[in-house]
Structure 1
Amino acid sequence: MSWELLLALLALCAPLLLVVQLVRFLRADGDLTLLWAEWQGRRPEWELTDMVVWVTGASSGIGEELAYQLSKLGVSLVLSARRVHELERVKRRCLENGILKGKDILVLPFDLTDRSAHEAATKAVVQEFGKIDILVNNGGRSQRSLCAETSLDVFKELMELNYLGTVSLTKCVLPHMIERKQGKIVTVNSLAGITSVPLSSGYCASKHALRGFLNALRTELVDYPGIIVSNICPGPVQSNIVKNALTEELTKTIENEGDQSYKMPTSRCVRLMLISMANDLKEVWIADQPFLFMAYLGQYAPTWAWWITSKLGKKRIENFKSGVDADCAYFSSSKKKAN
């Protein structure tokens, strides 16, 4: 084959490859590193068995689904949240549908904002199972309110729960992992921790703070390569996050959470989380389009992301005020029907 023919073939293949990659990206529901790990990486069924996994916020949403999927992998589970009856419900379902026995699941209720309880809770886990292999910082709440109308108490609560509560529990578990020179600290952040959105100024601030903390912690642990710090950033997922969101006052709740059915199924989000844990990925983005595109834009072209957000943000606020889900503006009615 002549050099001229080879160059001609390469010239034809390059645009085709670009089109293929573009189509793949448009259909993607996770960042490219994560999807590569899903295709070619290590399986959770191989890597996570026999581990002790502590999940906060395990009474609903992502935490609850994570408990169900982990219960099928042969791990020892610690389930934490405030509502003990909901944790017991999750435990029963884990025992019914998973492969675990009653001794393999510890229900450990506590309030993440009560930082004085974190050390005792950590000691209780170590006493029960002898170790903590994975801490999943999943507990937290979202926000749906305009900054100008929101009480400062709401901002304080979001930082106490989403940021300081997570930092405190991480600091309690960290010495144990340093002593063993291994462990995984997995924190459920948000795409809002990368690209901010209207109606969630306090929530975005707490998630940006978490990302900064985790990135700094990771660099401080450079002498402990066996300790993995993972930042999981989901986009909109089917859960109670909108229903449980804080509003302009601590005592006020969401009156109408709107349609959540078009969002990513919780089971898919959790499966991708398990893949990231199995492959020790440091940061992953889990979202359908166009949210995934906005994460890339926010990371690599923030000026463009701010411009687009300012255009879409007005509609998001209008949706919220009219009582529908704030994000439904990004989806056509055909997509909602398809899902």
Structure 2
Amino acid sequence: MMLELLVSALVTIFVVQVLRLIFSDCDLTLQWAEMFGRSPERLKGKVVWVTGASSGIGEGLAYRLAEAGCRLILSARREQELNRVKKNCLARYGGVQEGDILVVPLDLVQRGTHQQAVDTVITHFKQIDCLVNNAGRSQRALWLRTSLEVDKECLELNTLGPVSLTKLVLPHMVQRKQGQVVVVSSVAGKFGAPGIGSYCGSKHALHGWFESLRIEGYDDNIKITMVCPGPVFSDALKAAFTEERGEGLGVEMRSSENRMATDRCAQLIAVAMSNRLDEVWVSRNPELTYCYLFQYFPAIARKIGVRLGQTRYRKVKAGNASLH
């Protein structure tokens, strides 16, 4: 009798976990944190710097953090759009005052301007509690067709830009013996995919750089949170790199695509921040399942990935570069 009850309990647990995996939009640790952990409101009063805040995930995260009562620095290249986001934050959330949100235009590729931006932030807020390295640019082109110039541009923006800004913010955090660096990577930073080789490479590189910083920053109470979103609704495909320098993909996402809403992605990132999680996967399936496979069964995952990836590869080769 006891054995039957034990087997029944184990089967029930297994079925529940499978169902959670199938219908979830994030990894199990993040699910647990959202249900039982600290809410984003625990970030109230924190000074948070969000790059890429003029649209997409960055804009959505700015709204969620403003709702939680954070003091914000909003950065991107388009100052007009940043002011729009700031205006929306002030209009929507009564607890946010004009001085709580600072707009600092920033081009991550222009690394010579980063120090001035950091000085501006420190002068205004006196501290930086959290840096969210969110800015970046996607890419759509086959490996052999992509020029080396595009590879370099992708690395300059998606990898060296965040590294440069973090190197300048970090001393202020170390001096205070506290700080959090959030890196918005991608599920493309966990495994490769056809048609986005340069983008995958730039995101994989972020993991190497910031996983090393995680160890080095431990004694100074510096927390690293790696965020790996899957497909999310945004304007990312409009400006995505292609195979030649200076080109943009110019593709609109369709509402019928299997993508996460921006506000949902922002909510999950805010939960990861408030719970100071190490790495989170923010995605629907099938990408979420791929993350588990590559994490725990890499040999099997690569065999499956190569075979299933051929369909996508042929579509990209035929000219359907808009595939997410």
Q: Equivalent of 1:139, from 135, 154, 158? A: 135
Q: C-alpha offsets along residues 278-307 of structure 1, whole Å, 9 cap, x if unaligned?
A: 101011011001110001111111222222
Q: Equivalent of 1:154, from 150, 154, 159? A: 150
Q: Is the 8 A contact 2:233 2:253 kept in 1?
A: no
Q: Is the 8 A contact 1:181 1:227 kept in 2?
A: yes
State the AA in 2 paired with 1:39: M
Q: C-alpha offsets along residues 171-199 of structure 1, whole Å, 9 cap, x if unaligned?
A: 00000000000111001000110011111
Structure 1 length-normalised TM: 0.91
Instruction: Report the equivalent of 2:248.
Output: 253
RMSD over aligned Cα, in angstroms? 1.4
SS in 2 for 1:143: coil
- Partner Cα separation in structure 1 for residue 253 and residue 175 of structure 2: 47
State the AA in 2 paired with 1:251: G
Identify if the C-alpha distance between structure 1 residues 149 and 127 changes in structure 2 by more than 3 Å, giving closer, same or farther: same
Asked if residue 290 in structure 1 is aligned to residue 286 in structure 2, the reply is yes
SS in 2 for 1:168: helix
Structure 2 length-normalised TM: 0.95
Q: C-alpha offsets along residues 114-168 of structure 1, whole Å, 9 cap, x if unaligned?
A: 1111111111101001110110000110110011111111000011111111101
- Partner Cα separation in structure 2 for residue 313 and residue 14 of structure 1: 35
Asked if residue 313 in structure 1 is aligned to residue 309 in structure 2, the reply is yes
- Matched ranges for 1:95-106 at <5 A: 95-99=90-94, 100-106=96-102
Asked if residue 241 in structure 1 is aligned to residue 239 in structure 2, the reply is no
Instruction: Report the equivalent of 1:130.
Output: 126
SS in 2 for 1:231: strand
TM-aligned CA deviation for residue 8 of structure 1: 2.5
Instruction: Report the equivalent of 2:2.
Output: 6
- Partner Cα separation in structure 2 for residue 161 and residue 252 of structure 1: 15
- Partner Cα separation in structure 2 for residue 145 and residue 9 of structure 1: 54
- Partner Cα separation in structure 2 for residue 162 and residue 263 of structure 1: 21
- Partner Cα separation in structure 2 for residue 258 and residue 317 of structure 1: 19
Asked if residue 230 in structure 1 is aligned to residue 225 in structure 2, the reply is yes
- Partner Cα separation in structure 2 for residue 324 and residue 23 of structure 1: 33
SS in 1 for 2:258: coil
Q: Is the 8 A contact 2:138 2:240 kept in 1?
A: yes
- Matched ranges for 1:72-221 at <5 A: 72-99=67-94, 100-221=96-217
- Partner Cα separation in structure 1 for residue 322 and residue 299 of structure 2: 26
- Matched ranges for 1:15-26 at <5 A: 15-26=11-22
Give the total of aligned pairs: 321
TM-aligned CA deviation for residue 255 of structure 1: 4.2
Q: Is the 8 A contact 1:231 1:282 kept in 2?
A: yes
SS in 2 for 1:275: helix
Asked if residue 68 in structure 1 is aligned to residue 63 in structure 2, the reply is yes
Instruction: Report the equivalent of 1:331.
Output: none
TM-aligned CA deviation for residue 76 of structure 1: 1.0
Identify if the C-alpha distance between structure 1 residues 258 and 61 changes in structure 2 by more than 3 Å, giving closer, same or farther: closer
- Partner Cα separation in structure 2 for residue 79 and residue 280 of structure 1: 21
Q: Percent identity?
A: 48
- Partner Cα separation in structure 1 for residue 116 and residue 231 of structure 2: 34
Q: Is the 8 A contact 2:185 2:206 kept in 1?
A: yes
SS in 2 for 1:119: helix
- Matched ranges for 1:43-58 at <5 A: 43-45=39-41, 47-58=42-53
Q: Is the 8 A contact 2:237 2:250 kept in 1?
A: no
Asked if residue 30 in structure 1 is aligned to residue 26 in structure 2, the reply is yes
Q: Equivalent of 1:263, from 259, 271, 279? A: 259
- Partner Cα separation in structure 1 for residue 130 and residue 167 of structure 2: 14
TM-aligned CA deviation for residue 98 of structure 1: 1.9
Greater relative contact order, per chain length (Cα 8 Å cut-off, separation 6+) = 2
